[in-house]
Structures are given as C-alpha cells and as structure tokens.
Amino acid sequence: MHGIMENDYMVSSGEVPWHGLGAVLDGVLTSEEAIKEAHLTWTVEQTPVYTANNWAKAIPGYVANVRSDTREVLGIVSERYHVAQNKDVFAFADDLIGNGEIPCTYETAGSLFNGRRVFMLVNMPKGRIMEDEYVPYLALSNAHDGTSALQIFLTGIRIVCNNTLTAALKTAKRKISIRHLSCMNQRKDEAIRTMGAASKYFHDLEKFASELAGKKVIIDKVLNLLFPVSSYMSSRQVQTNNEVKETIKSLINQKDDLQNHKKNAWGVYNAIADYRSNAEPRRKTSTFADRKMATFLDGDVILANAQNIIMELAA
C-alpha cells in the first residue's frame, strides 16, 4: 500500500515522486504546469455549519472549508478565516523563483490528507557539508483545515545517503511564516526576504556541521537518552527501543559515508537522521506516506531531540 490518500496526487520534475506515484515531467515545472499536473486546480469554498438535529440551525461564527471537486469538508474554521487558494500559494512560489536572488527550480508539488495540506518543493543550488553534496530545499506548505497559514520550511537532503538535514539553529530560522499577500509588490519584497533567510540558514548549517565534526560524543549515551528503556515500559516498547538503538549503531559502523565521522557528533547525528529518514515502519497505515512527508516538511521531533542531546553531551 502506497499510503497516499484517495484524493491526493503529486507531480515531480525529472524524477519519480517520492511515493512512486503521479506524473513525471522533464525539465523545470512552471507553477501553472505544476498546479495542473498535480491535480490542484480545485478551490476551497466556505459554507455554513449546521447542527445535526431535526431543528438544524447554522452555527454562528464558524464555516466549513469544502474542497470544490470532491465536496469533502477539509476543516471547520472561524468565519474570519481567509482562504489562501492553491493558485495564490503558487503565485508566491513564482516570486521566489523569479526574484533572481538565488537560482531555484520547481521540483515537486502535491497534496496530503485528501487536500487538507498542499505543498511545493523548490530546490536551490547544491552545496557541500563536510565534503558531502546536499540539495537545499524551500518547502512551501499551506493548510486548508485551519491548522496553519502559508509557511516555508527549510531543509536539505544529503544526496549520498538520502537523509534529511533539519537542524534547528539559534542563528537562523528553519521555518518562515508568510502572510497571505495579494499585492504583487508586497509578495516580491517578502520573497526577497525569504530567500535571504534561506541563504543564511544553509550557510549557518554548514558551520554547525563543522562544529559538530570537531566534537566527540559517545553514541551509546546519546541513544540511551533518546530511546530509553525502563521497567515502566511494556516488553514490546523495550524490545523496539533496543532494536532501534542497534540499527543506528549498525548504520554508523557500516555505512561508507559515515566512516570518517564514526566517533564525532556529526556522524552520530547523521546516523540518527539516516534512520529516521529511511527506516520502514513495522506496520504501514493508509496515511503512512502522507505523515512521512509531513514530518519531512515540518521537522522530525525525534531528530530535534537527538540534536539537543548530542549538543549537550558533545565535548
């Protein structure tokens, strides 16, 4: 089971989409092409919400966000909620691509959870961290269920092992919230500021990696704090945590790309990131692929905890 929900779809430029489905186009996608090929031409309509009884009445102050093509209710929101339609989100992506500050291309667009969340990945020029090549991404994400506004998540993919780089840095933000802007001049100004913030984040990420590579850390101490075992846990949870720890230690001992960093903090961080990015769950649910993509966009809580633990223990 691929995990993509019934009314989700995705398109990717030049490569098979991450879940193995959807259309593949050669060359750079325009936002107009991406919206069409990713089946995102639908809009969100707002309708009254009624009580469910024989004397149904409209509930004041609330409306339902309804997907125009499937008529599915994506969320119940305040009547003050302003819908950012898919075409408006992609218009901002056009400004990111066209501002000329940093050369970028569209790569992937799609929806999650039957359209409750819409996203686009924009890739920036490749960089190098500790001799490894990586691709920086700006991920635009908009929620139609009322959980968030338009946001940009900055992340990178280490090409050699396909694991994510989502470090939280004190010096640069990884997540950027964008107002729903309709004025072209305002959008372009916001796009320039966004690209500047992205450039700083990835520059500081390279410095962060260098600092971790210069510090030693004992992997067992990190993993015992990240995946603890105790008498209060079920036997299944104890077994699971022990198996996870052994898997991560195996990664750092066997993967070619980590051999130069086996005993430093950068190597431990990447072994955990590799596991979190690529490990298959014991049981795949119908929403597994959607949730994995959402974690990629938002940042992995376990990986964030690992970063904090490593920085605290590293010397």
Distance of alpha carbon 120 from alpha carbon 34, whole angstroms: 9
Q: Are residues 140 and 257 in the same domain?
A: no
* SS3 state of residue 266: helix
**Looking at the structure, do residues 158 and 264 belong to the same domain, yes or no?**
no
The whole-number pLDDT of residue 247 equals 94
19 and 106 in a single domain? The answer is yes
Pseudo-torsion of CA 95, 105, 270, 210, nearest 10°? -70
Q: 223: which 2 tokens? A: 């993993």
Q: Is residue 1 part of a domain?
A: no
Residue 231: which domain range? 215-313
Same domain for 18 and 150: yes
On the CB side of 56, how many CA atoms lie within 13 Å of its CA? 6
Whether 141 is covered by a domain: the verdict is: yes
- Is 252 among the domain residues? yes
| Domain boundary residue, one of 33, 63, 81 | 81
Residues 156 and 70 in one domain: no
Sign of the Cα torsion 281, 174, 203, 90 reads positive
Q: Name, in order, each residue with C-beta under 8 angstroms of 284's C-beta and a sequence gap of 6 or more.
A: 1, 3
Residue 35 lies in a domain: yes
Note whether 169 and 48 are same-domain residues.
no
Helix or strand or coil: residue 273? helix
Is 5 among the domain residues?
A: no
Ranges of residues in the chain whose predicted pLDDT is under 50: 1-3
| List of E strands, 2-131 | 10-13, 23-25, 44-50, 58-67, 73-78, 105-112, 117-123, 127-129
For residue 128, is it within any domain?
Answer: yes
HSE (CB half, 13 Å, CA atoms) of 53? 5
Residue 104 and residue 197 in one domain: yes
3-state secondary structure of 136: strand
Domain count across the chain: 3
The whole-angstrom separation of Cα 252 and Cα 255 is 6
Residues ≥6 apart with Cβ < 8 Å to 157: 134, 135, 137, 163, 164, 165
Q: Is the CB of residue 67 less than 8 Å from the CB of residue 104? A: no
Q: Are residues 157 and 296 in the same domain?
A: no
Domain-embedded: residue 24: yes
Residues 26 and 173 in one domain: yes
Other CB atoms within 10 A of residue 53 CB: 7
Give the per-residue pLDDT at 22: 66
Residue 278 domain-assigned?
Answer: yes
Q: Are residues 49 and 70 in the same domain?
A: yes
Say whether both 75 and 147 belong to one domain: no
Instruction: Tell me the sheet residues that pair with 58.
Output: 50
User: Considering 194, 210, 226, which residue would you say is the last residue of a domain?
Assistant: 210
| Residues in CB range of 96: below 8 A, 6 or more apart | 104, 122, 138, 140, 191, 194, 195
- pLDDT value at residue 295: 83
Q: Are residues 92 and 27 in the same domain?
A: yes
Q: Return the pLDDT at 2.
A: 44
User: By three-state DSSP, how is residue 124 classified?
Assistant: coil
Q: pTM for this structure?
A: 0.82
